[in-house]
Structure 1
Amino acid sequence: MTNRRNVFFYYRNSDDIGAKVESLTKLAEKYGFTVVSHSKDANIIASIGGDGTFLQAVRKTNFRDDCLYVGISTKGSASVYCDFVLDDTEKIIEAITTEQVEVRKYPVIDVKIDESASFKCLNECTIRSGIIKTFVIDVHIDEIHFETFRGDGMIISTPTGSTAYSKSVNGAVIDPLLPCFQVSELASLNNNRYRTLGSSFVLSGSRRLRLEVAQDGNDYPVIGMDNEALSIRSVQQIEVTLSPSIIKTVKLKDNSFWEKVKRSFL
């Protein structure tokens, strides 16, 4: 990490974390790093908190693919996005003084809503009914009409996001080395009129997913972008593709994605 010298700390300000961030700042400066006050001046962006804070750090700094993101957990253990623990300074020092640091690359999805808005997601995009009423969504893969869905909503997840909301509805856990994204159903209705695949499916990174929402009075869907929710009236179409952007993080020895999955779930 010695060729990257400008560090920006992203965290939710509170009394208990302020002193720890100050000590981390002194540690960084001791080893020749400059702590900057704005993310645009940084080539290392370190989130301090949990996985949710890491997702916010990536989103609030505009999914930069020209810098290295580092997750530092305040919860006493590492997690999917947090490779370091705030109180374990020995591992942090080892990483910042290493001449050559391996970089892990995480896929990102691009989401376009109608013609009005576009977003990136590191974890997942979700569309859910905002009222007690099901959706009807026509699902298109490239130019092919695949199925007509009726239910509570759908989850489109990245490989790293496959361990989150998608997994809770029996989606597969996907290796982030695979450039792809996964589509999972939320409480689909299957009867003589509506018939869906009934299971999650994985699309190649070269595919385009298009969800066309039937305009039947369900005008206020909740659109989830990672851990943020948007309320957009009269959504007609959502288009999802794999982004050319990637998120780079530190790759530590004995802390691969699958070791993280084992630590988290087994």
Structure 2
Amino acid sequence: MRILLVCNRYKQSTQLVAEKLTEEIIGLGAGVEIDDGYNVSTTSGCDIIIVLGGDGTIIRAARTYGSFGIPMLGVNMGTVGFLTKIEIEELHQPNLKRLLAGDYHIDERMMLNVEVFEDNRSVLSVSGLNDVVVRAVVPRMLSVGLEVSGQDLGIYRGDGLLVATPTGSTAYSLSSGGPVCDPALGVFVVTPLASIHSSKRPLVINGEHKLIVSPIESDETVICIDGQVRHEFRPGCRVEISKSEHKLKLVDLNSIPFFAGLNERLGRIENS
């Protein structure tokens, strides 16, 4: 058994916890590798990934390792912890022994493939767990076009446009008026950002479709994937968004149903 520990290099507390956890895991007879944000592991020979931090650290780990199909346990050391399944205080024996023994439930989450083209040339291809956002760098109205598998949905005018997975439906999309989706669904949530058209409402679209977002009027506009990967969105660009063939496998030791824990997590946001 080999464990990959992923921690947040910007928080010394996660690195200290990683060092103590390494000793505990080795004491139980398993091997350990550490990804501190500087050196990314190949995951060769790793059976489980433990991510120490908040949702941002898990999103980075999902983008880096999600396609390998290795079970990933998110351990909350942040504020909200929508994606984490256990608190750091709980990750000791007997839970650590249960993890190494494979005594847990797997929660599969849809991921996105995002490809950016400039003049029909692919310039960026990346996976995402939460969302893709197209918006202006400075406060100004922009106009983008949206196609769904060749069907023209018209022009969206406002602050921008957001395409989220069910996992991302509880993030930026929710604060922009989008619906909360059951994470077991394989759908896109399309949420206009401050649209000037009352008819342009959030949409839930079958994940088997391909979405294309193109600029109409979009000076000083960026594409942002999961709030972490940015690329300039300029004339001649288009963004193609599709469902990834890979799903993120989240380890759940407590088997708490999504909707049973939803109000608690939303409450954390309001009180943070």
User: TM-score, length-normalised on structure 2?
Assistant: 0.85
Asked if residue 7 in structure 1 is aligned to residue 3 in structure 2, the reply is: yes
Matches within 5 A, 1:111-150: 111-114=114-117, 115-150=122-157
CA distance in 2, matches of 1:155, 1:104: 24
The one-letter amino acid of 2:184's match is L
The letter of the residue matching 1:16 is S
Structure-1 separation of matches of 2:102 and 2:126 = 35
Distance in 1 (alpha carbons) for counterparts of 2:152 and 2:82:
35
Determine the C-alpha separation between the residues in 2 that align with 1:253 and 1:207: 34
Structure 1 equivalent of residue 95 of structure 2: 92
- SS state at 1:116 partner: strand
- The offset of 1:40, in angstroms, is 2.3
Residue by residue over 1:182-234, the C-alpha shift from the partner in whole angstroms, topping out at 9 and shown as x without a partner, is: 000001112xxxxx6332111111111111211x4x34312111121413252
1:48 aligns with 2:52: yes
One-letter identity of the residue aligned with 1:205: G
Q: Any stretches of 5+ residues in structure 2 without a counterpart?
A: 35-40, 268-272
For 1:35-74, what aligned pairs fall within 5 Å after superposition?
35-37=32-34, 38-41=41-44, 42-59=46-63, 61-74=64-77
Q: Which amino acid aligns with 2:68?
A: D
Correspondent of 1:16 among 13, 22, 29 = 13
The residue type equivalent to 1:255 in the other structure is I
1:259 aligns with 2:266: no
Verify the 8 A CA contact 1:107 1:122 in the aligned structure 2: yes
Query: Following the alignment from structure 2 to structure 1, what is the Cα–Cα distance between the partners of residues 87 and 107?
Result: 18
Name which of 145, 160, 168 aligns with 2:167.
160
Aligned to 2:223: 223
- Conserved 8 A contact 1:78-1:85: no
What are the within-5 Å matches in structure 2 for residues 199-218 of structure 1? 199-214=201-216, 216=217, 218=218
- CA drift at 1:162: 0.5
Shift of 1:245: 1.0
- Following superposition, the deviation at residue 97 of structure 1 comes to 4.5
Displacement of 1:106 in angstroms is 0.3
The Cα offsets for residues 131-187 of structure 1, whole Å up to 9 and x where unpaired, read as 343221121111111121111101110001101000001111111111111000001
Aligned pairs, number: 253
Contact 1:109 1:120 in 2 (8 A): yes
Moved more, 147-156 or 218-227: 218-227
Query: How high is the sequence identity, in percent, across the aligned residues?
Result: 23
Q: How far apart are the structure 2 equivalents of 1:56 and 1:243?
A: 16
- Output the aligned Cα RMSD: 2.1
Deviation at 1:39, TM superposition (A): 4.2
Distance 1:156 1:208 in 2: 12
Contact in 1 for aligned 2:222/2:233 (Cα 8 Å): no
- In the aligned structure 1, how far is the partner of 2:21 from the partner of 2:187? 36
Partner amino acid, structure 2, of 1:43: D
Q: 1:52: Cα distance to partner?
A: 1.0
Which letter maps to 2:66? F
Amino acid at match of 2:154: E
Deviating more after overlay: 218-227 vs 180-189: 218-227
1:8 touches 1:39 (CA, 8 Å); kept in 2?
no
SS, match of residue 133 in structure 1 = coil
Provide structure 1 residue ranges, at least 5 long, that are not aligned to the other structure: 191-195
Q: Please give the TM-score of this superposition, normalised by the length of structure 1.
A: 0.87
